[in-house]
A = this chain, B = another copy of it.
């Protein structure tokens, strides 16, 4: 696919996906949301891709929703009844993007190079790691423009920084400097702008260099899904089945390689090798 709002480049097994509307600080549009979902679909389906880095072109990461359009700038058709039979036609676009990221089978790493406010901040919360440039500025500014949290941030933010910080950042709607965001646990590191992409690539390499692709896919999804489960028995039920299947696949090679003192050679296909135990592509209905 040809993307108008994104740029995609590959370095070995690591893909960099760049939000690419630098003239308007990579402001988010409905088109960008659609392109992001297609891009994640394609990257997820491509077994040669092991990890995805998301960053922004120019000096911003993403300045939030593009407010310059006409009509409902959030892309919500005001003529639809949100509780009627056409409700599917109004979906928070940021939420659709993060739900797609949530069920990715490979790690996604945010390299936040500058301003990331509104959906520019919330879209990163479903990613597996965040690295901040020291010029990054984060803002959950919704209450200052009279709207609500979106992109499932009300679910993700308390799990990343705790409920008290999540409330503080959201109710104040203030801009948070990179160091403060890092100190609160939002990101794994703060580095200079010039080191940012290399730092993100280093995380991607740590996640992929010596690991089984299927195992990474399963463990990534297990952690996200069980972070919301009510009882550890939910984990036990799924883990028993994933262990059963994986121990007869990549796990057999892993154990043999360990016994033989050699590096394992894991299968590279992911989606067709995912163990049973969970509907890895499924999600609850929107209703």
Q: Show the binding face of A for B, using Cβ within 8 Å.
A: 67-68, 72-74, 76, 78, 82-83, 90-92, 95-96, 98-99, 102, 107, 126, 128-130, 142-160, 162-164, 166-168, 170-174, 185, 187-188, 203, 206-207, 210-212, 214-216, 218-220, 222-255, 257-259, 264, 266, 275-277, 283-287
CB within 8 Å for A73 and B255 given contacts A99-B236, A219-B142: yes
Q: Is the CB of B154 within 8 A of A266?
A: no
On whether the beta carbons of B211 and A155 are closer than 8 Å, the reply is: no
What is the minimal beta-carbon distance from A124 to any residue of chain B, in angstroms? 11
Task: Name A236's contact: one of B95, B174, B229, B231 (CB within 8 Å).
Answer: B95
A136 CB to nearest chain B CB (Å): 16
Expressed in whole angstroms, the minimum distance between the Cβ of A29 and any Cβ of chain B is 14
B146, A162: Cβ atoms closer than 8 Å: no
Contact B239 A152 (CB under 8 A): yes
Provide the bound-state CA to CA distance between A72 and B232, in Å.
Answer: 24
Copies per complex of this chain: 3
Q: Which residue, of A146, A239, A286, has the highest number of chain B Cβ atoms within 10 A?
A: A146
Given A147-B243, A148-B242, A227-B158, the answer on whether A170 and B259 have CB atoms closer than 8 Å is: no
Q: Which of B233, B248, B255 is the one whose CB lies under 8 Å from A67?
A: B255
A166 / chain B contacts, CB cutoff of 8 Å: 223, 227
Cα A279 to Cα B232 in complex, Å, equals 16
Q: A92-B239, A223-B157 are in contact. Are A232 and B188 (CB under 8 A)?
A: no
